[in-house]
Amino acid sequence: MPTDDLPWSAPDPAAQHPDEAADSGLLAPSWAGSAVAAVTGDTGYLRALLDAEAALTRAQAALGLAPEAAAAAVTAAAAETHRYDPRALALRARAAGNPVVPLVADLTTAVAARDPGAAAYVHRGATSQDILDTATMLVCARALDTVLPDLIRTAAALRRTAAEHRDTPMAGRTLTQHAVPTTFGLKAAGWRSLVLDAHDRLASVRAALPVQLGGAAGTLAAFHAYAEADGAPPTPDLGSRLLARYAAETGLAAPALPWHTLRTPVADLAGALACTAGALGKAAADVLTLSRTELGELTEGSGGSSSAMPHKTNPVRATLIAAAARQVPGLAAVLYGSLAAEDERPAGAWHAEWQPLRDALRLTGGAARDAAVLTAELRVHPHRMRQNLDATGGLVVTERLVAALTALTGRAEARRLLDTAARRTAERGIALPAALDEVLHEAPPTARHEDRPAPPGDPATPPEAAPALSPSRLRQLLDPTGYLGSAGALVDRALERTEHHPQESP
């Protein structure tokens, strides 16, 4: 079969229409147009690759391993990002398996045009993974620098909401059903706590993002070889000194070892991104549930419209955050899988990281952007919360009634009485007080404490229950706002945690 007929030798339609191959986020509204999209796009990655190359030459010049003029020429040529075509580099990268190889060729040509003698110092002693890993860490640092402020804004908005609604009662729900009363302030404080947890994890990872430099197999041998060829005396600590200087030039951390196949930095970042997406997703999931028409306890400040139904105002931001929260853990799983990398450079494990990591950064950054707006504009409807809290006719406080009766009838009997009354309320639609009154008057004498006989003339009603269930006492027990436990104190305690910590300033 002629090779010209093979699919991979066919003309590339995208080459004729390059704009059609660009990814602007048409199917990714969660990150389209965000600050993180700009720093993680192809141009942003290209910028980072060039920055990594220029920083390496400057680091060598600082140690006397390259002329200062060469460092200046490489830095100047690398600064002209517009001279390098990301699409052309992508297509040429197929030959070597990564974009660094064709970029080094183009950068060398650009440097030679400025200073022919400086061209020899482009990429000197490095391997492709050194540059791509370092560039990836630069991209991650720049991406996180857009995410962290959004998380702080989100936490600040939730602080205000939690404080304002510290004592706003609402139904707590477990397994989709009313459980016991809680407050919206406590719920918002919980969201904030998760956001701050995520922020702290991301800030810690951000501070530790390392430069990569190891040469062909992690020994830095080529740098020693070039130094010796230039006539420099042997220097055993040359590699560690160069690594430290390279870290300083890039603004990244200096690792203890080259990490070509020691992928802790990527795995740690993956976990922090998944945690952040999940933390924001928790708040989004609650907003989506509580903004349902039949609940109406929350609404987004500026919801989205429907193409077909004019009456709808959809919780779009919460929807996009929830979508991101479902995707990032799967991407993190791929990144964790790359920890099992063979040899001193793996075939496939390293390559498998690139796109999932970029997608995870984009999704998390987009979610943080949307969360900052969502929480700042969130509308709370206390009257709907109270209506829903009262919807079960008192069932939401049966736990309280059990506690009140336990001291008088014993726990087992109190639970039996309330179970029966609750079933009648749910099945027959009668109010809980009426159902409980029925059950109490049906209680057999054997249900009483054996050492407390029934009083004359009242063989059916447990004597201990009657005083506890007087109309005034029952009204008190049935008031859900009186059964909020330590909710207010817990909100106060949660809000003692500030939004700003030392590690937040990378």
Q: Residues 87, 92, 114, 345: which is the catalytic one?
A: 345
Structure tokens at 331: 């991407």
What is the C-alpha to C-alpha distance for residues 318 and 374, in angstroms, rounded to an integer?
Answer: 7
* Cβ atoms of residues 324 and 367 within 8 Å: yes
Structure tokens at 60: 């060598």
Query: For residue 352, what is the DSSP state?
Result: G
φ/ψ of residue 169, rounded to 5? -75, 145
Q: Residues 305, 306, 486, 505: which is the catalytic one?
A: 306
Catalytic (active site) residue 306: yes
* Cβ atoms of residues 480 and 400 within 8 Å: no
φ/ψ of residue 159, rounded to 5? -60, -45
Cβ partners under 8 Å of residue 252, min gap 6 = 134, 137, 138, 141, 209, 210, 211
* Cβ atoms of residues 211 and 252 within 8 Å: yes
Structure tokens at 118: 């400086």
What is the C-alpha to C-alpha distance for residues 247 and 330, in angstroms, rounded to an integer?
Answer: 31
Rg from Cα positions in the chain: 32
**Long-range contacts of the stretch 21-24 (C-beta < 8 A, 24+):** 21/87
Instruction: Please provide the DSSP assignment of 31-54 as one string.
Output: TTT-HHHHHHSHHHHHHHHHHHHH
* Cβ atoms of residues 100 and 131 within 8 Å: yes
Residues carrying an active site annotation = 306, 345
